Amino acid sequence: MKAFVTGGTGFIGSHLIDFLLQKGIEVHALVRDRNNLKWLKELNISLLEGDLFSIPPIPADIDYVFHAAGFTKASKSADYYTVNQQGTASLFQSLQSQRTLPKKVIYLSSIAAAGPSFEKKPVKEDDAPHPITPYGKSKLMGEQEALNFKDTYPVVILRVAAIYGPRDRDFLRYFNFIKKGILPALSSQQRLLSLCYIKDLIQAIYLCSQKELESGEIINIADPQPYSWDEYGKAAGLAMGKTLKRVRVPHLVIYLGALISEIGGKIRRKPSIFNRDKYKEMKETAWIADVTKAVEKLPFSPQYSLQEAIQETIDWYFNNNWL
């Protein structure tokens, strides 16, 4: 079997490629720069140099397309739409122009496309989307671009909850607070969120590729059990052997921190994940995904408990001098 992966040098894509190779699947990865392969160095894969707007020839007999490329942070809101929406459209147009007919195309979207939970009620796939940030809106528009081709290709969209695990940098700032013995809290009210450990996500992606699903299907992927930020932080504290002190951080302080981080990213021309959009997401009381469909149709069940996944993540951070 052969697979074409976009975003292969990223957090999700690199783990997916490792998994596919273990399954004996031939991997063709789209990369922008052969000199910046990150986690792909020395792997037995075929590198296709280009980007979503200049895709080189793809093997005609490709079996699966895994679209994991996308922006999770950007200096300008327009950049989200350029990559997450227009880039997705360009990928499908390229598949069509090259007359590539994969068995399945899987698009990695985000729960941000669906929006936060109202009254802490889990969001279902058929609920009306209400994204609140440019990132979430761009991912929703990317979904629509994929759905435009659902009669041409077997398309499945996975809306993934907040992802964590080895190689992830988005949670690193939070873990640095935990390392110092601080459990940061936005308010006395517990904020709930759905989480997904990277290895569980990869398993879900693979299950999705192997199941007969209706083209255009949208499936939420997350641990069925939502957690509060306190529970997540305490699990990290336990993994580090830290006694934590809960420190309430005023909204204004977090907002100013996000603003400063955002400005700093623009100056360095390296966007920061901690920005005003992230602050807007953090203010919401719940980001909970209903995963009934994933459980019934894939069937998906996390293989790691929260503590096991956090421990494995923290150990990797320490072993690689990230913490």
Predicted local confidence at residue 188, as pLDDT: 66
* Alpha carbon separation from 146 to 16, 104, 124, 153 (Å, rounded): 20, 12, 19, 9
Reply yes or no on whether the pLDDT at 274 is more than 80.
no
pTM over 0.85: yes
Return d(Cα 259, Cα 274) in angstroms, integer: 8
Q: Are 166 and 316 in contact (CB under 8 A)?
A: yes
Domains of the chain: residue spans and CATH: 2-168+194-224+287-303 (3.40.50.720)
Predicted local confidence at residue 124, as pLDDT: 98
Predicted local confidence at residue 62, as pLDDT: 97
Would you mind telling me the total number of residues written for the chain in this entry?
A: 323
Looking at the DSSP bridge assignments, the partners of residue 182 are 245
Across the chain, mean pLDDT equals: 94
| β-pair type (192-193, 227-228) | antiparallel
95-118: pLDDT as tens digits: 999 999 999 999 999 999 999 999
281-310: pLDDT as tens digits: 888 889 999 999 999 999 999 999 999 999
